[in-house]
Amino acid sequence: MRLKVELSRRETEVAHLLAWGASKKEVADMLFISTRTVENTARNIYAKVGIQKATELCVWWFCTKHNVPVSLDPLKRTFVAVALLLIILPKELTGNGDFFRVGRRAQITRIAKTTGRRKGENDYNPFEVCSYD
């Protein structure tokens, strides 16, 4: 992947939209050009940058335009992975908060999740059989 690449104005527009997740047809509709033109422009961008896939285009775009580092130090990557694991793991081990412990006993009670409203005395149901007392 080449980081120092000069793209034309149209190539920059297409790369921007593709990097943000637009499909080639959506890019064509937004820029009022044909889908074939978008495909050719994307092919030229891929050749200039030295990439093969749209995901690589996203990585290239954010690394060059938003100053995201291309590769982090392996020690930093490990630290970030461990930090995220420590954040996510407790929630996964406890069942995502659906269970909670009651007192000191080992009993586990499930939280009831209800939806809708309860039927009251004054609720009118036209399909209910009328009873005259």
Let me know: does 63 contact 56? Beta carbons within 8 Å. no
The secondary structure of the chain in percent helix, strand, coil, rounded to multiples of 5, reads 50, 5, 45
CB-count exposure of residue 85 (10 Å: 0-12, 13-18, 19+): exposed
Give per-residue pLDDT as tens, 20-73.
999 999 999 999 999 999 999 999 999 999 999 998 899 889 888 887 777 655
Q: Looking at residue 113, what is its pLDDT?
A: 55
| Predicted pLDDT of residue 82 | 85
How many angstroms separate the CA atoms of 90 and 24, rounded?
Answer: 41
CATH number of 9-65: 1.10.10.10
pTM, two decimals, is 0.53
- Kindly list the domain boundaries of the chain, sorted by start residue: 9-65, 74-103
Between 128 and 17, residue with greater pLDDT: 17
Residue 110, pLDDT > 60, answer no
Any idea which residue has 């940058």 for tokens?
A: 49
> Are 24 and 35 spatial neighbours (Cβ–Cβ below 8 Å)?
yes
